[in-house]
Amino acid sequence: MFYQMKPNAASYARVQLESKVASADPHQLIAMLYDGAILALSHAETAIHNKDIAAKAQWITNAISIILEGLQAALDKEAGGSVAMHLDELYSYMAHRLLTANLQSNVTMIAEVKSLLNELRGAWNAIRDKVVSGAVTIPSRPRSAQPARVAVR
């Protein structure tokens, strides 16, 4: 018996994301993490307005995972010095605020974290020219499953 698979939008989106990740350099990967967390928080805000508690919790959990397991885990605290240490503290703060926002369905706290992520993403994109010119070094993407370590100087 033959089965005919019907692709859907989620399948296409997943393939597109996997393709982007496979070809991205470490700078682009971090930018994608910022984008993902910001998008998840936008969905969480919508879920709160729609009184969809399950969706709100899932989107906030996704954002926290991106922040802690992606952005925070990618910090190289030795090479990054005080900047990396401050980012580490900021990411922990964001995760705590989002946990509280989830418990209270508080869109103000979500907006605060989203604003912080937008500012960081803007700063990250602003250094792209310095990365391209060689003024800032980012190690090549590791072949292992470990997240890329980024040195911020």
d(CA 128, CA 119): 15
Would you give per-residue pLDDT tens digits along the chain (153 residues)?
455 555 666 554 555 555 555 656 778 899 999 999 999 999 999 999 999 999 999 999 999 999 999 999 999 988 889 999 999 999 999 999 999 999 999 999 999 999 999 999 999 988 876 766 766 655 554 444 444 555 544
d(C-alpha 9, C-alpha 21), whole Å: 18
Cα distance between residue 52 and residue 44, in whole Å: 9
Q: Where are the domains of the chain?
A: 25-129
CA 21/CA 15 separation, integer angstroms: 10
Superfamily of domain 25-129: Flagellar protein FliS (1.20.120.340)
- The CA R_g of the chain, rounded to the nearest whole Å, is 17
